[in-house]
Amino acid sequence: MELPEDADGWDTIIFLYNSALKEVGTRIEILSDEFQHVHHYNPIEYVKKRIKSPESIVKKLKKNGYESTIDNMVMYVKDIAGIRIVCSFTSDIYRIAEMLGKQNDITVISVKDYIRNPKESGYKSYHMLVSIPIFLSDRVVDTRVEIQIRTIAMDFWASLEHKIYYKFEGNAPAYISRDLQECAGIVSQLDAKMLSLNEAVLEAKAAQEAEYHRLHPTG
């Protein structure tokens, strides 16, 4: 492993990415609290944050043909700081993405919608690469964070796929890839069914409330 070039440079970069994770994490926490307060419903099941390890950074740079330097790390490795937001339903994913995109100090650099356009493996998730300003004592540094938003079922599938392919170092037998793709289809059906069920529950609840107000008019 060739990183870091110098301890001070490495420590500063990691400090910035950790600060960016805290900033974006705070935005997500506030949105979650607001949703609970206003709608009595929280679309976010849980949030995970991580900083990419030096080994993973070096591996990614080498894979893409870049030298293992701190400058190249900042320039070419876009997912050093990562936040994963896990939701209950697919409709929540786009709602959260829209709310984050409207934050005044968050700049959306790029979006990859692997839900409407899944990867060949069956992988589904909504990726946003954003930049957020980190206010230091003497300057402001825009720092990138990758945000992944997915359902519980998508996260379950992606976690297992990662573990399986890690064991085979990316060269899993063909039948395992086929089975994973089949499982991805099952996950999609499950998400669709759960979303439909949730919508039916909301409609039934609204109908009950309307009937109650009809039978118990105020004034």
Q: Please calculate the CA angle 77-110-16 and round it to the nearest 5 degrees.
A: 45
Bridge partners of residue 129, in order along the sequence:
110, 146
Bridge partners of residue 142, in order along the sequence:
133
3 CB-contact burial (10 Å; exposed 0-12 / middle 13-18 / buried 19+):
middle
Q: Please calculate the CA angle 90-34-85 and round it to the nearest 5 degrees.
A: 35
Q: How far is CA 10 from CA 48, 75, 86, 107, 154, in A?
A: 23, 14, 30, 25, 34
Which residue of the set 55, 146, 161, 211 is catalytic?
A: 146
Quote the distance between the C-alpha of residue 183 and its chain's center.
21
Q: Which is nearest to 144 in space by CA: 160, 132, 157?
A: 132
Q: How far is CA 83 from CA 20, 108, 130, 132, 201, in A?
A: 10, 14, 11, 13, 31
29 counts as catalytic: no
Active site residues: 146
